[in-house]
Amino acid sequence: MKSIEVEVVSESGLHARPAAVFVRAATGFASIIRLQNLTAARPAADAKSIVGVLGAGVERGHVVRLVAEGPDEDRAVETLRDLLAGLAQQVGE
């Protein structure tokens, strides 16, 4: 199991378009991936579910924990961490 904590820098957090980009990336991995909003003390959600990611209520400045377990867990966590770091540029903010 691989885990990492990341601060979300996107202006809109993980709402609508940024959430869709994140979920699309997460679904590309075989590992089970969970996203937990630590700032809002929300339970972990399935990172491959748009409903789960939107339900996490992640806003700009929130710290989230990404946990991946499976054959590509290291690559999954690294890729999603990098995505969150660069999400503002990817969605045109």
Mean pLDDT score across all residues of the chain: 92
Architecture of domain 2-90: 2-Layer Sandwich (3.30)
Report the catalytic residues. Answer: 15
CA distances from 34 to 22, 59, 93 (A): 12, 17, 25
- Write down the domain spans for the chain: 2-90
pLDDT score for 1: 97
pLDDT score for 26: 98
Listed residue (17, 75, 80) closest to 47, CA to CA: 80
Place of tokens 């869709």: 20
- Among left, alpha and beta (phi > 0; psi -120 to 50; other), residue 70 is left
Q: Which percentage of the chain shows pLDDT scores above 70?
A: 92
Whole-prediction pTM: 0.90
User: Quick one: tokens of 83?
Assistant: 């995505």
The pLDDT tens digits for 25-48 are: 999 999 999 999 999 999 999 999
pLDDT score for 64: 96
Higher pLDDT, 11 or 32: 32
